[in-house]
Amino acid sequence: MEKSGKGAVLVAGGAGYIGAHTAQALHAQGYLPVVFDNLSSGAREAVRWGPLAHGDVRDAAALADAMAKHDVQAVIHFASLIEVGRSVARPDLFWEHNVGGTATLLQAMRARGVRRLVFSSSAAVYGQGGRGPLESIAEHAAKDPASPYGDTKLACERLIAAHGRAFGLTAVALRYFNAAGADPSGLIGEAHAPETHLIPLAIAAALGDGKALTVFGDDFDTPDGTCLRDYVHVNDLAAAHVAALEAPLAEGAFEAVNIGAGRAYSVFEVIAEAARALGRPVPHAVGARREGDPPSLLADVARARAVLGWTPKVSGLDEIVRDAVRWESAPAYGRPGRKAAMAALSASA
């Protein structure tokens, strides 16, 4: 028997990076995570703590089947397209998958009387909005997304809030800052294809797997000229989802909550930490700015503490990078060239 004392939770997109870590956290807390995923970017190997229902969030019938079969009591919704750059080139796809998929999921929940939702949102809903470097962002800050990706996350939040007012859905949107790190077990970790995120790319460069890292600009108005970001350990993020599921909220309430570590580091600081953790240099060169990169994103996490009773536990930059290095040195899935790179590295040592 699966351990499922607290009931089944549909984890849409649960074969992805944050979804898999959340499925593990749900299982550890006595829930049965039912991963609903089309495996377009998620990994079958990442589904370890409950059943996989293979399906797409735009498919109402597949959602209805999975919810009925497993007697789903609540939903956590991660399934979406996430590459900011691609959203500029293909806004049509992002609206169809992200907003269309969320609308279909909400209808399926309503049809089945499932009234609790946690939604994967993003700091991308905020614009840069005249903030200075190291000025933290609270939830009431201006919403002015710099990309179609951010637009779709904001549109989903508004649709979810409207379902609360109209139909009594109770929901929390978690606005992630920079998710990073991996579970220390080595069983699950980050494996985007293509990988675009700083920490895995810095580690890959040091391991000789792939190109030297390009630093996207060192002429920002920040202390060392590179962008500042708030990196939060994926296991802290996973815990935030369980807290959001259990938060004592009124029926029909909608809460949007920042999830970050509440500390920001520059690209150069991340590179230095990766070099220290690996005991080898991270080959890098400064290049042009990447379009749409705000100089600084730092979370005000007071509301996460107040509403969810959540605080980050393992989100020191050293802990995040240590766990990322462990995963990237022996990934259980993804990263096709990594084994050969590691072999070449140990042969040359």
Q: Choose between 4 and 120: whose C-beta lies nearer to ligand UFG.
A: 120
* Residue spans of beta strands (DSSP E) within 72-123: 72-77, 116-122
- Smallest gap from residue 207 Cβ to ligand UFG (A): 15
206 makes contact with ligand UFG (CB under 6 A): no
- Smallest gap from residue 107 Cβ to ligand UFG (A): 26
- Smallest gap from residue 142 Cβ to ligand UFG (A): 14
Which 276-315 positions form the footprint of ligand UFG (CB under 6 A)? 290, 293, 297
123 makes contact with ligand UFG (CB under 6 A): yes
Residue type, 126: Y
Structural contact between residues 205 and 283, judged by C-beta atoms closer than 8 angstroms: yes
Per-residue x/- track, 35-64, ligand UFG (CB under 6 A): ------------------------------
Give the C-alpha distances (Å, rounded to integers) separating 43 from 20, 60, 90, 256, 300.
9, 22, 24, 28, 32
- Smallest gap from residue 231 Cβ to ligand UFG (A): 8
Per-residue H/E/C for 2-31: CCCCCCEEEEECCCCHHHHHHHHHHHHCCC
Total residues at interface with ligand UFG (CB under 6 A): 21
Residues identified as active-site: 149
User: Site for ligand UFG (CB under 6 A): which residue of 172, 201, 207, 238?
Assistant: 201
- Smallest gap from residue 78 Cβ to ligand UFG (A): 12
261 makes contact with ligand UFG (CB under 6 A): no
Q: Choose between 103 and 146: whose C-beta lies nearer to ligand UFG.
A: 146
**Residue with CB nearest ligand UFG?**
227
174 makes contact with ligand UFG (CB under 6 A): no
Structural contact between residues 43 and 59, judged by C-beta atoms closer than 8 angstroms: no
Give the 3-state secondary structure of residue 130.
coil
Q: In this structure, what DSSP letter does residue 210 have?
A: S
6 makes contact with ligand UFG (CB under 6 A): no
Measured distance CA(242)–CA(153) in Å, rounded? 20
Measured distance CA(12)–CA(62) in Å, rounded? 12
Give the C-alpha distances (Å, rounded to integers) separating 102 from 154, 253, 255.
12, 18, 17
Contact residues: ligand UFG, CB under 6 A = 82, 84, 122-124, 149, 178, 196-198, 201, 213-216, 227, 229, 267, 290, 293, 297
